[in-house]
Structure 1
Amino acid sequence: MNGFRKPALAAAAVALAIGGTLAVSSASAAPQAPTGSTATTTAWAKVSAAGALLGGSGVTGVSHFGNGRYNITTTANLGECALLGTVNTNGGSDPGPGSSSVLVGKVSSNTLFIRTATPSSAGSAAVDSDRPFSITIVC
Structure 2
Amino acid sequence: MTAAAAALVAGGVFTVTGVAAQDAAAAQPAAGTTFWAKVAANGNLLAASGIGNVNKFGQGRYNLTTDADISRCALTGAINTNGGSDPGPGSASILVGAVDARTLFVRTATPSGPSPRSVDDDRPFSLLIAC
Q: What TM-score do you get using the length of structure 2 for normalisation?
A: 0.73
Determine which of 79, 87, 91 is the counterpart of 1:87: 79
Does residue 1:123 correspond to 2:126, yes or no? no
For structure 2, list consecutive stretches of 5 or more residues without a partner in the other structure.
1-29
**Whole-Å Cα distance in 2 between the matches of residues 132 and 51 of structure 1?**
8
User: Post-superposition shift, 1:90?
Assistant: 1.9
Q: Greater Rg, structure 1 or structure 2? A: 1
Quote the Cα distance in structure 2 between the aligned partners of 1:95 and 1:55: 19
Name the CA distance, whole Å, in 1 between partners of 2:64 and 2:101.
12
| Per-residue deviation, residues 85-124 of structure 1 (Å, max 9, x unmatched) | 0000122414322010100000011000000000011120
Runs of at least 5 residues in structure 1 that lack an aligned partner in the other structure: 1-37
Q: Check whether the contact 1:61–1:73 (CA below 8 A) recurs between aligned residues.
A: yes
Contact 1:96 1:118 in 2 (8 A): no
CA contact (8 A) 1:41 1:136 kept: no
Where in structure 1 do 4 or more consecutive aligned residues deviate above 3 Å?
none
Secondary structure in structure 2 of the residue aligned to 1:62: strand
Alignment deviations for residues 10-36 of structure 1 (CA, whole Å, 9 cap, x no partner): xxxxxxxxxxxxxxxxxxxxxxxxxxx
Q: Does 1:62 pair with 2:64? A: no
- Cα deviation digits, residues 30-78 of structure 1 (max 9, x gap): xxxxxxxx95243100000000000010011000000000000001211
Quick check: 2:71–2:100 contact (8 Å CA) kept in 1?
Answer: no
Structure 2 counterpart of 1:49, from 38, 41, 45: 41
Q: How does 1:8-19 map to 2 (within 5 A)?
A: none
Query: What is the number of equivalent residue pairs in this alignment?
Result: 102
* 1:96 paired to 2:88: yes
Cα RMSD between the aligned structures?
A: 1.5
Q: Corresponding residue for 2:16? A: none
Q: Percent identity?
A: 61
